[in-house]
Amino acid sequence: MLKTGEFFGTLCAIDPNPAQIENEKITGMFRLFTDLIAFHLQQIDLLEQSQNLSDQLEYQVQVRTRQLQESVDDLRRSNTNLEQFAYIASHDLQEPLRKIQSFSDLLQTKRGAELGEDIDLLARMQQAAKRMSTLVKDLLAYSRISTRQEAASSVLLNQAVEGALKDLDVSIYQSRAQIDVTTLPVVQGNVGQLEQLFQNLLSNALKFHREGVPPRIRISAQTIAESELPSGVKPARKVPMYHRIEVSDEGIGFEGRYLDRVFQVFQRLHSKNAYPGTGIGLAICEKVAINHGGAITAVSQPGQGAIFQVYLPAIS
């Protein structure tokens, strides 16, 4: 008998009349028997192999599931640690800074006249404490956006922009800025994070305007297909259509070779004396875009303004 093309045994039969063994019908019957036996034995082997493969696969799935669960637990611990850091940053670090600012203000009020030229040292101390306080607040905002995945809902981007404009109304008035906002789409997301995104982009445009020229900013939107995305744009979630939200200005701009750098934490293209800030604002914008399944990039040239482009998945 043959099984999978290899000899593995013999089928024996005893007949009281050996002469009939040469009968073609009888030999054909025995060939059929051997083929059937070989076939069923082969099926048994295949079933055993299949069961072995199934057991191995189940074991591998269990191992992989355990590894993924461990990774999830590690991520949760990491997020918990970051949230604890955020709490410390918002309370324990801010409290001594508030005392430094309060006591320096009190010292300036009560003893300012006696300090003479040294009053400049007090002013520097107040300014440093103010910068540190701003830095801690920005770090706290970045930490919260990095660790908290808020529940998504339908967000009217025009309302998110209105919220950002209200927070920036003093800066807008002081700089005599002109801001044009077209009709923007509805997206799935978190309104608080999206307001933060627009506030940071608008704040940048207000800050980096040309000397003596009031800022002029425009916010517009366009729906594009996934095939129309620029080669360097890789949204966090792949969908057929995206909304491209553009925040354009006519400010000082920047060189294109610094594009990746502007979205990194603490990265600045200008000194803090020339333009105040912590270098976290655009990093927060990138984190918000990623949290919403999108991406952010920019197009700019020195002296010709900048266009920040935010890509967000379109609601199907």
pLDDT at 217: 95
Name which of 128, 129, 131, 120 is nearest 102 in CA terms: 129
Q: Which two tokens stand for residue 102?
A: 């309060």
Separation between Cα atoms, residue 76 and residue 257, nearest integer Å: 36
> Measuring CA to CA, how many Å separate 186 from each of 169, 237, 242?
24, 17, 11
- Type of residue numbered 38: A
Model pLDDT for residues 31-41, shown as the tens digit of each residue: 787 778 777 77
Q: Which two tokens stand for residue 105?
A: 């203000």
- The DSSP 8-state label assigned to residue 314 in this structure reads P
Classify strands 178-181 and 216-225 as parallel, antiparallel or unpaired. Answer: parallel
Average pLDDT over residues 221-250: 93
Is residue 1 within 8 Å of residue 9, measured between CB atoms?
Answer: yes
Q: Which of 110-119, 221-230, 278-287 has the lowest mean pLDDT?
A: 110-119
- Mean of the per-residue pLDDT values of the chain: 81
pLDDT interval class at 19 (50, 70, 90)? low
- pLDDT at position 299 over 80: yes
Q: Which of 62-71, 120-129, 194-203 has the lowest mean pLDDT?
A: 120-129
Average pLDDT over residues 40-49: 80
pLDDT at 294: 94
Architecture per CATH, 152-313: 2-Layer Sandwich (3.30)
pLDDT top residue among 108 and 222? 222
pLDDT top residue among 40 and 193? 193
Separation between Cα atoms, residue 134 and residue 81, nearest integer Å: 22
pLDDT at 38: 76
pLDDT at 232: 86
Name which of 82, 142, 81 is nearest 283 in CA terms: 142
Percent of the chain with pLDDT over 90: 28
Is residue 267 classed as helix, strand or coil in its secondary structure? Answer: coil
- pLDDT at position 190 over 60: yes
3-state secondary structure 102-163: HHHHHHHHHHHHHHHHHHHHHHHHHHHHHHHHHHHHHHHHHHHHHHCCCCCEEEEHHHHHHH
Model pLDDT for residues 68-125, shown as the tens digit of each residue: 888 888 877 776 776 677 667 666 777 777 788 888 888 888 877 777 777 888 788 8
Distance of CA 6 to the CA centre of its chain: 58
Q: Give the domain ranges of the chain.
A: 91-142, 152-313
pLDDT top residue among 126 and 26? 126
Torsion over CA: 184, 188, 189, 191 (sign): positive
Separation between Cα atoms, residue 35 and residue 167, nearest integer Å: 85
- Type of residue numbered 76: R
